[in-house]
Amino acid sequence: MLILLPPSETKRDGGEGPSLDYSALSFPRLNARRRPLVRAVRTMSRNADEARRALKLGPNGDPDIARNRMISRSSTMPAIDRYTGVIYDALDAPTLSEAARTRASTHLLVHSALFGLVGALDPIPAYRLSQDSRLPELRLGEHWRGPVARELAAREGLIIDLRSEGYAELGPLPVRADAVYVRVLSRGEGGAVRALNHFNKKAKGAFTRALLEAPVVPESTDELLGWAGGADIELRRGTGNELELIV
């Protein structure tokens, strides 16, 4: 099983780990893409005006630009501890059991616009780059789509995609029965369901936490649906490769 999460634009500062070490990151074949992108972000961030435009930052965005200048030298921390925001607040990584955190190291990935796929415990620095950022030197879609898609296709077994559509486009799932995209819906009055916006992130974080704390790792879509039913989670098949998480 692999769980794919999007990153968050907000991140914790600091960290107790050493500076960025590409050899410590999962998916070493992506390093050939990571290095030039880190250089491009650092170079762009020397010009504050250019960086604000590329990163879509307002006048209060200068701390993010400063973090980008220091990407290669600043301290690191595990990815699931670095990211903050609604998904990661609901995941609440610091309170995961030891067994769940160990499971995360094997089964949970974050799709970063800067580093591509990273493992939950991979040491990363603070940075600012989103899937819709516009760098002068390269296009993120062209840079990541093929390499990330190939890494996902090479992984056997169940893949549970909780990314936003923007990040999913930076690395599409392989077309197979056990690679599924989870869409969050809300059940309203009369039983009708509708798509959620902001609150779907909270549901994704809570769903990820429940999977990491589950007694058994699901190995197929059928097992995932069976586990969800036993855990009082409403998860059902949608159209195509979609599953619908109803909250």
One-character DSSP codes across 176-217: STTEEEEEEEEE-GGG-EEE-STHHHHHHHHHHHHHHHSSS-
- Confidence label for 66 from pLDDT (cuts 50, 70 and 90): very high
Return all residues near 231 (Cβ < 8 A) that are at least 6 apart: 210, 214
Structure confidence at residue 198 (pLDDT): 59
Residue 124's SS3 state is strand
pTM of the model: 0.94
Q: CA 229: distance to chain centroid?
A: 25
pLDDT at site 190: 67
pLDDT score, position 188: 73
Output the pLDDT for position 95.
97
Residue 191 or 230, more confident? 230
* 189 phi/psi in degrees, rounded to 5: -65, 140
Mean pLDDT for 61-86 is 96
pLDDT in tens, 125-181: 999 999 999 998 789 999 999 999 999 999 999 999 999 999 999 999 999 999 999
| Percent of the chain topping pLDDT 70 | 98
Give me the pLDDT at residue 44, please: 94
Q: What is the mean pLDDT of the chain?
A: 95
